[in-house]
Amino acid sequence: MAAKISHADVEVGTELPTQSFPVTRATLVRYAGASGDFNPIHWNERFAKEVGLPDVIAHGMFTMAEAIRVVTDWTGDPGAVVDYGVRFTKPVVVPDDDTGALIEVSGKVAVKNDDGTVRVDLTAMSDGKKVLGMSRATVRLA
């Protein structure tokens, strides 16, 4: 059994369901623990500002982890991802309030390959800014 989306049913331009991912300071603390990345720019406002950031920022790898969920939720099989790459263009700034920030991710099929895979191009936005560039995943479909 493989992905639930069939290669035959997908065309270049097919849009994936858009998703929004909230991120608060608590999200970042939790991600720090789970990933082992304890860089203080992701939880210590004083430190973040000292190194020239506007505030605490999300781990780039957290944003990368959220963005691929648009693909893996679509296919239903996270193991069907063949490759995945991003450029970290802008930080996701996470204020110290109950709302935090929102990462909005959309994706569409950019290339349909003959080997049963497609390339999905992802767009990740936060606070009106594009936070990932060159965000692309190749995924095997059923």
> What are the residues binding another protein (CB under 8 A)?
1-2, 21, 27, 30-31, 33-37, 51, 60-62, 64-66, 68-69, 72-73, 77-79, 81-88, 134
| Residues 60, 41, 126, 26, Cα dihedral to 10° | 100
Nearer to another protein, 61 or 111 (CB): 61
Alpha-carbon span 14 to 8, nearest angstrom: 12
Nearer to another protein, 13 or 36 (CB): 36
Nearer to another protein, 37 or 45 (CB): 37
CB of 44 to another protein, least distance (A): 14
* C-beta of residue 7 within 8 angstroms of C-beta of residue 99: no
Nearer to another protein, 58 or 109 (CB): 58
Which residues does 114 contact at the CB level (< 8 Å), separation at least 6? none
Alpha-carbon span 43 to 95, nearest angstrom: 10
| Secondary structure class of 103 (helix, strand, coil) | strand
CB of 115 to another protein, least distance (A): 14
